[in-house]
Amino acid sequence: MSRPLLDIRDLTLGFKGWTGLTEVLHGISLNIQPGERVALVGESGSGKSVTARIVLGMLQSLRSARIGGTVEFDGRNLAQMSRAERQQLRGTRISMIFQDPTSSLNPVYRIGTQFHEVLKREVPGFSYQEAMNRAAEILREVSIVDAERVLNSYPFQLSGGMNQRVMIAMALANEPDLLLADEPGTALDVTVQAQTLDLMRRLVEQHNTAVLFISHNLGVVREFADRVYVIYKGRIVEHGPTTALFDDPRHPYTRALMTAVPRLTGGGVPDIDDDASAFSAPLVDHLAGEGRP
Amino acid sequence: MNDALISIRKVSKTFDAGGHAVKALDNVSLDVERGSCLAIVGESGSGKSTLANIVLGIYPPSSGEVMFDGEPLPARRTKLNRRQIQLVQQNPLSSLNPKRSIGASLRLALDVHGIGERAERKDMVRALLEEVDLPPEFASRAPAALSGGQRQRVAIARALACQSELVVLDEPTSALDVLVQARVLKLLSELRPKRKLTYIFITHDLAVVRNIADRVAVFEKGRIVETGPTRRLFEKPEHPYTRGLIGAVPVITREELALRASLSTEENT
Amino acid sequence: MKRTISILVANPLSLLGVVLVATVVLSALFADFIAPFPEHRGAVVDFANFNKAPEWPYLMGTDLVGRDIFSRILYAYRISLILGVVVLAIAVPVGVTVGLVAGYFGGWTEYVLMRITDIFLSIPPLVLAMSIMGVLEPTLANGMLAVTVMWWPWYTRLVYNITRSEREEGYVLAAEVIGASPLHVIFREILPNCVPAVVTKMTLDLGFVILIASSLSFLGLGVQPPTPDLGSMVADGAKYLPDSWWLTVFPGLAILVAVFGFNLIGDALRDILGADQ
């Protein structure tokens, strides 16, 4: 097995506040191979979004954050990098797509200008004209035909779906090795969301980009990811290849989640046991003993 | 359908958006049978929220009328109208006043409509909380001390407090986590027969609709493109837009995948 | 409330504010006991000790007719505080109500009420107060009236803006759908959400009202002699600077202490109450 692109080992996170240390992550281990699509699925407050922020190097410089364990990106420990080095990774080798495309694009700049900024992160000398040509090329990849008009528009002049595509194009503009996607498309209509996911899957396959896909939506995860980690209250409770995990969920928490998802085939509203004590059962790893981490 | 609690008759609504008129609802007619749950589904801009606001009397329709129990609802709602039609909103964070206790928010409905004797109302509030499976002590808490699911239960209790007949549920579970959503949906489906309620359930989540609604009306750009009993609509959708919507729902089981696949092959034939 | 107080005391700057304001309030309350020469608040003449630099028993020196400046400052605080409290007690309810009504109802109500407010806001405050005082007798009561007239529109603006955004909140819709009266929605639902901002502004304003009142009396339009007033004390002494510096410096410092103290507390309250929401 080749070296993982992202290797998180025993990651802990706590925030020091008025009332002492609040622990958010209790030792998370997770890895992503180059070109692999991995989902981290959990409810709000489970710690899935902070994990992404740590990978982006955005929490390391926060004074109240206490981080333990290691996060290695391409063999280098993030904790041992300087702040500037971590920042250099963002937008070039690691990029991110957010939940709400309209609010993550800057409303006062044209799309073209924002593309130029992104491309300059990788190649500081990128000229505006070159950037526009490159941007048009990338936009065509996300099925935007009238790239010229889009580049000359402000985000509010475009639809939510269009903005989401622009976000994806920008995130992939510098050919990153790793894409962090935090609930992409959740703010969009279902049909647009489905198109967005299709598009993302096609692109990351073409470019061999690895993805850490963060979501609360099991259906979306099933359709997008190769491998799934289920996170509950700062702990990974179940992990395995997507089909194995969905066909045979073994951890009580995963089972409860799957039962709770309303089915398109009907069957009524399920009964959910209020007892959460079983959810603290130990990790179920579908790949344990198969020679993979 | 003779026993319609609410009938919407040829309702249109036009908004003035900076000089030019935007048609949010275009000649919509619907009946909701007493004691049933009608789901209104559609994407953003489909007009489903406009319809909810017209039913609630937040603004009047541009044309057409809404009949409640056989009587047309006046543009200016009476207190009785208000009591009969209640609302549960999407965002439980904003639907409860952060500066008032849970008990005060619940009591408002009792005070406004003079339900029960003054002295009894405190106990009625506690009973309402118990009815939505919350401890009665919550009456003295502030909304900030409650989780999203608990707040949504309070919002449901508030709708019950009015002893209303029709509840408009505006995306009541879309801000909630999936486990919490399941419990809230369960509560809603139990309360309907118990309290003899009629629901108008507005949502974009088709999987939820499949499991809670009796009938479905699919909205697109201010028009109803398809309506029918839930099961029929999901298994044999007639309109391509409905098929597209159902086909876009992310699913988790093989049966659901099979259902979606059958829809897309039908489309090809 | 307990939490607010404990945070106020924990931060060094806001603690300083608490100490300064406490000093001002206590000196005003207990002026009769603290002042070495309580009778000097009135028309007393003591030519034997006039215009003296600070020396025992005159801690801050004496004025041109021989009155103890320290004693007069204590009594001046009393008047300033009464003025501040009375002004706010009238301006705040008026301003807040107008703001709530305009913000909640919108339409013509809003248009008329807010244009009236704008008219008041467009006149420089001191000019407005001066013209009122110029027409009316320059008495303490009229001084309060003048300051009140120029003060309420600021509360209207503040509360109007909050109401406009609170109006869109789900809880307002919920109350309306239940059938609650506009009176209930305005005063029981929206008003409690304006309280933090209003309380913060009131604390800041107590300092500013004192400052404005002093400015008016500095111009000879406020409190009239022999009643002690910080503004007129500074004004009277200014002619004898720099030789008789104590005539202006101590009353000036007294104004500074009060205004600064109320501002520090106001700033701290803004942070604390703002974070509460």
Q: What percent of chain C shows pLDDT beyond 90? A: 29
Query: CB of A279 within 8 Å of any CB in chain B?
Result: no
Residue C224 or residue A182, greater confidence: A182
Lowest mean pLDDT among A69-73, C138-142, C187-191: C138-142
pLDDT at A290: 60
**How large is the greatest C-alpha to C-alpha distance in chain B, in angstroms?**
67
Mean pLDDT (chain A, rounded): 88
Q: Which residues of C touch B98 (CB under 8 A)?
A: 171, 193, 277
Contact criterion met (CB < 8 Å) for B105 and C195? no
* Angle, vertex CA A208, rays to CA A203 and CA A210, nearest 5: 95
Run of H or E including A21: strand A20-32
pLDDT at A289: 64
Contact criterion met (CB < 8 Å) for B182 and A43? no
Confidence of residue A125 (pLDDT cuts 50, 70, 90): confident
Contact criterion met (CB < 8 Å) for C177 and B94? no
Does the pLDDT of residue C161 top 50, yes or no? Answer: yes
Q: Which residues of B touch A217 (CB under 8 A)?
A: 250
Run of H or E including B92: none
Contact criterion met (CB < 8 Å) for B87 and C192? no
Does the pLDDT of residue B35 top 60, yes or no? Answer: yes
Cβ(A237)–Cβ(A42) below 8 Å = no
pLDDT at B133: 94
Q: Which residue in chain B is spatially nearest to C181 when comparing CA positions? A: B112
β-strand partners of B112? none
Q: What is the ipTM of this complex?
A: 0.90
Please state the φ and ψ torsions of residue B66, each to the nearest 5 degrees: -115, 125
Q: Which residue in chain B is spatially nearest to A248 when comparing CA positions? A: B253
The shortest C-alpha distance from B195 to chain C (Å) reads 18
Q: Cα separation of B59 and B89, whole Å?
A: 17
Report pTM: 0.86
Q: Which residues of C touch B109 (CB under 8 A)?
A: 178
The residue-averaged pLDDT of C32-56 equals 80
Does the pLDDT of residue A122 top 90, yes or no? Answer: no
Residue A90 DSSP label = B
Does the pLDDT of residue B145 top 50, yes or no? Answer: yes
A87: left (phi over 0), alpha (psi -120 to 50) or beta: alpha
Residue A78 or residue B17, greater confidence: A78
β-strand partners of B67? B7, B72
pLDDT digits (tens, 9 = 90+) for C80-115: 888 888 889 999 999 999 999 999 999 999 999 999
Q: How many CB atoms lie within 10 A of CB C48?
A: 8
Q: Which residues of A touch B234 (CB under 8 A)?
A: 264-266
Q: Cα separation of B242 and B249, whole Å?
A: 11
The residue-averaged pLDDT of C118-125 equals 86
HEC-encoded secondary structure of chain C: CHHHHHHHHHCHHHHHHHHHHHHHHHHHHCHHHHCCCHHHHCCCCCHHHCCCCCECCECCCECCCCCEHHHHHHHHHHHHHHHHHHHHHHHHHHHHHHHHHHHHHCHHHHHHHHHHHHHHHHCCHHHHHHHHHHHCCCCHHHHHHHHHHHHHHHHHHHHHHHHHHHCCCHHHHHHHHHCCCHHHHHHHHHHHHHHHHHHHHHHHHHHHHHHHHHHHHHCCCCCCCCCCCHHHHHHHHHCCCCCCCHHHHHHHHHHHHHHHHHHHHHHHHHHHHHHHC
Contacts of B98 (CB under 8 A, 6+ apart): B142, B143, B144, C171, C193, C277
Confidence of residue C48 (pLDDT cuts 50, 70, 90): confident
Residue B162 DSSP label = T
The shortest C-alpha distance from A44 to chain B (Å) reads 7
The residue-averaged pLDDT of C253-275 equals 82
The residue-averaged pLDDT of C44-73 equals 82
CA atoms within 13 A on the CB side of B24: 20
Q: Which of C151, C86, C122, C131 is nearest to C221 (CA)?
A: C131
Q: What percent of chain A shows pLDDT beyond 90? A: 36
Lowest mean pLDDT among A259-273, B8-22, B205-219, C51-65: C51-65
Q: Which of A66, A70, A85, A87 is nearest to A31 (CA)?
A: A70
Confidence of residue B1 (pLDDT cuts 50, 70, 90): very low
* Chain CA centroid to CA B236, Å: 24
Cβ(B182)–Cβ(A269) below 8 Å = yes
Q: Which residues of B touch A275 (CB under 8 A)?
A: none
Query: CB of A99 within 8 Å of any CB in chain B?
Result: no
Q: Cα separation of B185 and A80, whole Å?
A: 48
pLDDT at B56: 94
Confidence of residue A158 (pLDDT cuts 50, 70, 90): confident
Q: Which of A53, A51, A93 is nearest to A76 (CA)?
A: A93
Residue C239 or residue B95, greater confidence: B95
Q: Which two tokens stand for residue A48?
A: 């899935």
Run of H or E including B134: none
Q: Which residues of C touch B155 (CB under 8 A)?
A: 174
Q: Cα separation of B257 and B242, whole Å?
A: 17
Q: Which residues of B touch A192 (CB under 8 A)?
A: 43
Q: How many CB atoms lie within 10 A of CB B76?
A: 8
Cβ(B231)–Cβ(B224) below 8 Å = no
Contact criterion met (CB < 8 Å) for B97 and C177? no
Cβ(A176)–Cβ(A209) below 8 Å = yes
Run of H or E including A125: none
pLDDT digits (tens, 9 = 90+) for A237-258: 999 999 999 999 999 999 999 9
Contact criterion met (CB < 8 Å) for A263 and B248? no
Residue C12 or residue B53, greater confidence: B53
pLDDT at B269: 47
For B65, the 3-state DSSP assignment is strand
Mean pLDDT (chain C, rounded): 85
Judge residue A136's burial from the number of C-beta atoms within 10 Å of its C-beta, 0-12 exposed, 13-18 middle, 19 or more buried. Answer: middle
Q: Cα separation of A70 and A49, whole Å?
A: 17
The residue-averaged pLDDT of B36-55 equals 92
Judge residue B224's burial from the number of C-beta atoms within 10 Å of its C-beta, 0-12 exposed, 13-18 middle, 19 or more buried. Answer: buried
Does the pLDDT of residue C276 top 60, yes or no? Answer: no
Q: Which of C108, C270, C178 is nearest to B84 (CA)?
A: C178
* Chain CA centroid to CA A165, Å: 16
pLDDT at C275: 39
Please state the φ and ψ torsions of residue B148, each to the nearest 5 degrees: -55, -45
The residue-averaged pLDDT of C40-62 equals 79
pLDDT digits (tens, 9 = 90+) for A216-229: 999 999 999 999 99
pLDDT at C277: 34
Chains that touch C (3 or more CB pairs under 8 A): B
Q: What percent of chain A shows pLDDT beyond 70? A: 98
Query: CB of B267 within 8 Å of any CB in chain A?
Result: no
Contacts of B167 (CB under 8 A, 6+ apart): B85, B86, B87, B88, B159, B197, B198, B199, B200
Starting at the edge strand found earlier in the chain, the sheet holding B63-68 runs B20-33, B4-17, B63-68, B71-72
pLDDT digits (tens, 9 = 90+) for A191-219: 888 888 888 899 899 989 999 999 999 99
Contact criterion met (CB < 8 Å) for B248 and A191? yes
For A203, the 3-state DSSP assignment is helix
Closest CB to B112 among C173, C179, C277: C179
Does the pLDDT of residue A51 top 60, yes or no? Answer: yes
Judge residue B172's burial from the number of C-beta atoms within 10 Å of its C-beta, 0-12 exposed, 13-18 middle, 19 or more buried. Answer: buried
Residue A290 or residue A214, greater confidence: A214
The shortest C-alpha distance from B84 to chain C (Å) reads 9
The residue-averaged pLDDT of A269-289 equals 83
Contact criterion met (CB < 8 Å) for B44 and A261? no
Contact criterion met (CB < 8 Å) for B250 and A257? no
Residue A60 DSSP label = T
The residue-averaged pLDDT of C207-212 equals 80
Residue B128 or residue C60, greater confidence: B128
Between the CA of residue B24 and those of B27, B60, B67, B215, what are the distances in Å?
A: 10, 13, 20, 22
Contact criterion met (CB < 8 Å) for B100 and C189? yes
Amino acid (one-letter) located at C257: V
Cβ(A181)–Cβ(A9) below 8 Å = no
Between the CA of residue C32 and those of A241, C20, C28, what are the distances in Å?
A: 84, 20, 9
Does the pLDDT of residue C184 top 50, yes or no? Answer: yes
Confidence of residue A293 (pLDDT cuts 50, 70, 90): very low
Please tell me the total number of residues recorded for chain A in this structure: 293
Cβ(C69)–Cβ(C233) below 8 Å = yes
Q: Cα separation of B255 and B235, whole Å?
A: 12
pLDDT at A256: 92
Starting at the edge strand found earlier in the chain, the sheet holding A20-32 runs A20-32, A6-17, A65-73, A76-77
Residue at token pair 């500066």: B99
